[in-house]
A and B are shown apart, each in its own frame.
Chain A
Amino acid sequence: MSPIAKHSTARSGRTLRLSALGGGSVLGSLALAGTAYAGSPTNIFAPAGTPARSIFSLSMLVLSVTLVIFLIVAGLLLYAIIRYRRRPGDSDQEPAQIYGSNQIELAWTVIPILIVIMLFLSTTRVILGTEHIPKPGNALDVTVIGHQFWWEYRYPKFGVVTANELHVPVSDPANMTPTYLNMTSADTDHSFWVPRLAGKMDLIPNRINVMWIDPQQPGLYLGQCAQYCGVQHAKMLLRVYADSPADFAKWIEHQKQPANEDFTGNPAAAEGKQVFMHNACINCHTISGTVATGRFGPDLTHFASRDTLASGAVPNTPENLRKWIDDPGTIKPGAMMPSMHLNQHDLDLITAYLITLH
């Protein structure tokens, strides 16, 4: 763990102890969330990349400052309410009328200004450190296109197109290989949010927004669309796979291959391909090396290599797949893919074909 992270963790522990005094206050609950629920796969207080980590450090500073302000002001309020309450037996006389004091007004204007300047400068440093740093030469570029309600990923340098499951190489802090996401939208606004890697960045039509991520441990990082984009905003889930450099190279090599055409010993798949190619499927989906070149829906060239379908909605099993093709609305009501009203036989065949697309 880097020195910055250690420092921040220590601070978070202190925040927790202090907040116990605050007793059930929001600020206390905030700090609790950071520690008690580190198990959540989408906890913003469990950063796993540089942008998320610098946000985490800043957030601990802001939380500490606001917590101290809370304790002081709330403490004074509580004291005043108890100390100056009317007690039985108090005389009916009004208390001394005090109309104000310029010195006191000045004090409680200047002190907050100083706090604001301190917070502003710390914040600016993180903004510049995230948004205004040179892009390393070995950065990987990925084009991210938001769709209702799925994600398209294009790797221009490798000629690879995939959907919903983003693979990026792990970045070694000593020799960073960040992934730059160049993001836009094909339809409505979306927002890319994988809390453990970075903050949000919106995907807006007619506009290219850039953000970068550098996961430092291999693994799966979850997130989801964070800008309301239509009916199925809720099931527009994000999955980022951070692969070791060797695994990533292997994955890219595999994705570059055209779709599987070897159906030996699997006549159902061969027949399924014919059904697929003779239906409207090809208007929306691409399977490289075939007549299917549609771009409205996800690229299916290596569909079977993905763990989930429908943008992370369900595991990619033959049963789920068959259910999805039969009527996508049963898994994801409001999804753009229509039910094709295929008969049971054709459903089996198409499922048999698609699961061969490794």
Chain B
Amino acid sequence: MSPATRVMEAVDETQAIKRPAFEVIYDWVTTVDHKKIGIMYIASALLFLVIGGVEAILMRIQLAIPNNHFVSPEVFNQLFTMHGTTMIFFMAMPILFGFGNYLVPLMIGARDMAFPRLNAFSFWVSFFGGLLLYFSYVGGSGLYAAGSAPDVGWFAYAPLTAKVFSPGHSTDYWTLAVLLSGIGSIGTAVNTVTTILCMRCRGMKLTKMPLLPWLYLVMSSMVFIAVSPLTAAQIMLMLDRYLGSHFFDTQAGGSAVLWMHYFWIFGHPEVYILVLPAFAFMNEIIPVFSRKAIFGYPAMVAASVGIGFISLGVWAHHMFAVGMGPAGNTFFVFSTMVISVPTGIKIFNWLATIWGGRIIFSIPMMFSIGFLFQFLIAGLTGIMLSAAPFDWQLTGSYFVVAHFHYVIVGAIIFAIFAAFYYWYPKATGRMLNERLGKWHFWLFVLGFHLTFDFMHIPGLLGMPRRIYTYEPGRGWEIWNILVSIGAIVQAIAVIIFAWNLVWSYFKGKVAGQDPWDAWTLEWATPSPPPVYNFACDPMVNSRRPLWDLKHPEDPDADYE
């Protein structure tokens, strides 16, 4: 087959709608193409985002007023457990892996991931993990009767998960779902690391690699180290529950604190596993819309690697109130505060990238600017929490809930929305609608700040997390109603976004190969890219190969 006919085939793919439905489904289910797997990761994550979002709204209705009877305590406990588990394991991780899957090979000039079938396996095993989690609504029973979802909290502290306190099967569904998600994550991490190390195009030394693959390299390496203990702990928990071992079974002398260590040595690196891809999106989007090269590329790489290492030694800051004693507490105060240094370096470098630029306020950049302010605030409330005595007041309160939602929504979700608006044209060939995008952005900013700014305050006024109701008279009422209103505004914004995704797919402006006048390799191939990505193997001389092409008189290669 000649190269020309291959290109024709690729063009035919955009006509896929006309094929019989069965053929299309068969194609997607059996595909090993990194782009299709990436899109499936993202689509499944959006499904779980909607489910987790509905759970959040139900909780906010319950908490909007004191002594509310909208849901029972049993249902409320399931809601926050399912919301946390869904959003972390079946929304945030898959959506970020999805973007990585789609973008990493394109940005390093490869034709696919290193292990395409492992890639498909990892996606499907994670996705089935999510389905299994929700099957618990039909098949499980938790602290109560049959047909209930997991209700032990998303970090499932021992001994609440022991057979004696959680006799039904819902905790098993939780354990197995998280176990499957972990296997999928490790598979994709292996794949990403191998792809980045072995499959870069000619000329792309590690020092000439764009920052997005760099951050995915660090993030995937962290997945090995962080997810393995979690997986081990799930197996230990199952042994406890079914084979009579006593790792976490306090009634037989097991240790509740051991579980906390296992969970958080996963749980804290996990925060950085999620935020590094968000940084990755910022590293690509902010320079393009400031029309400047990223400031301090080597410092950005060093800071990312530094964050990767330090984040493995901060986990017990989740445990300042478990009575570790002054030596343990002091160590984790220090390691936690130190991580703010490389994180600060990143913020300053983004600031320096904008400085002297010519900022274009398109939707991806608007979300990125939201990210910068909100991530700054999230980092600063993080410093408050790192001061252990202050944390003795704040931990387990709504302040902590507000803090980590500031990180996950204010930073990570904003970065993900930025990434959607930025790369949607590449994946579909059409631009997302700008007008709907502006509505989405402003409503989401409004809802986000209503919810998560005010959520800090009841925490300072003594409101613990995970309570299904509260008495009036503690000074919490006004803040809770504002938080609930904000949640609904955010939901409306997400509905507009979902509508935009659908509408623009059919009616959006045709994007062309390089709608943003960008500089990295994914913009050097048609939108959507053909199965083989690049008709011929690209070769690069600098971190911004398309800049070099567009400015032959002043190529980056002269300065790197």
Contacts from A to B (Cβ < 8 Å) = 24-27, 29-30, 32-34, 37, 39-45, 52, 54-55, 58-59, 62-63, 65-66, 69-70, 73-74, 76-77, 80-81, 84-86, 90, 94-101, 104-105, 108-109, 112-113, 116, 119-120, 122-124, 126-128, 130-132, 187-189, 191, 193, 195, 198-202, 204-207, 209-210, 222-234, 333-334
A189 to chain B, nearest CB (A): 5
A81 to chain B, nearest CB (A): 6
Q: Given A99-B560, A234-B467, list of 11 further CB < 8 A pairs?
A: A25-B453, A27-B377, A37-B475, A41-B473, A54-B389, A123-B330, A127-B326, A188-B160, A199-B391, A204-B323, A228-B160
The yes or no answer to B203 lying at the interface (CB within 8 A) is no
Contact of A226 among B349, B464, B551 (CB under 8 A): B464
Q: Is the pair B293, A200 in contact by a Cβ cutoff of 8 Å? A: no
Residues of B within 8 A of A195 (CB): 393, 462
Residues of A within 8 A of B559 (CB): 97, 99
The yes or no answer to B454 lying at the interface (CB within 8 A) is yes
Residues of B within 8 A of A99 (CB): 293, 295-297, 559-560
Residues of A within 8 A of B380 (CB): 27, 66, 69-70
Beyond A43-B460, A86-B359, is A119–B387 a contact (Cβ under 8 Å)? yes
Q: Is the pair A206, B341 in contact by a Cβ cutoff of 8 Å? A: no
What is the interface of chain A mostly: helix, strand, loop, or mixed?
mixed
Contact of A84 among B72, B359, B389, B454 (CB under 8 A): B359
Complex interface bits, B514-552 against A, C-beta within 8 A gives 1, otherwise 0: 000000000000000000000000000000000000010
Q: Is the pair B323, A207 in contact by a Cβ cutoff of 8 Å? A: yes
What is the bound-complex CA distance between A222 and B464, given in angstroms? 13
B508 to chain A, nearest CB (A): 23
Q: Is the pair B351, A132 in contact by a Cβ cutoff of 8 Å? A: no
B481 to chain A, nearest CB (A): 15
What is the bound-complex CA distance between A281 and B205, given in angstroms? 76
Residues of A within 8 A of B438 (CB): none
Residues of B within 8 A of A96 (CB): 292, 356
Report the stretch among B29-37, B85-93, B169-177, B252-260 that lies at the interface. B252-260
Q: Is the pair B384, A84 in contact by a Cβ cutoff of 8 Å? A: no
The yes or no answer to B360 lying at the interface (CB within 8 A) is yes
Complex interface bits, B239-261 against A, C-beta within 8 A gives 1, otherwise 0: 00000000000110111110000
The yes or no answer to B376 lying at the interface (CB within 8 A) is yes
Complex interface bits, B448-488 against A, C-beta within 8 A gives 1, otherwise 0: 01001110110011111111111001111000000000000
Q: Is the pair A70, B325 in contact by a Cβ cutoff of 8 Å? A: no
Q: Is the pair B160, A229 in contact by a Cβ cutoff of 8 Å? A: yes
Contact of B157 among A73, A189, A210, A224 (CB under 8 A): A189
Among all A-B residue pairs, the 6 with the closest Cβ atoms = A199-B392, A42-B462, A40-B475, A234-B467, A209-B323, A100-B296
Residues of A within 8 A of B361 (CB): 85-86
Q: Is the pair A44, B253 in contact by a Cβ cutoff of 8 Å? A: no
Residues of B within 8 A of A126 (CB): 387-389
Residues of A within 8 A of B345 (CB): 105, 108-109
Beyond A104-B352, A207-B257, is A187–B461 a contact (Cβ under 8 Å)? no
Task: For B352, give the chain A residue with the smallest CB separation.
Answer: A104
Q: Is the pair A206, B464 in contact by a Cβ cutoff of 8 Å? A: no
17 residue pairs bridging A and B, Cβ less than 8 Å apart: A26-B402, A30-B457, A33-B461, A43-B475, A66-B380, A74-B376, A84-B359, A97-B556, A98-B293, A112-B344, A116-B337, A123-B386, A193-B396, A206-B250, A207-B256, A226-B395, A229-B160
Q: Is the pair A333, B396 in contact by a Cβ cutoff of 8 Å? A: no
Beyond A45-B460, A70-B380, A84-B358, is A205–B159 a contact (Cβ under 8 Å)? yes
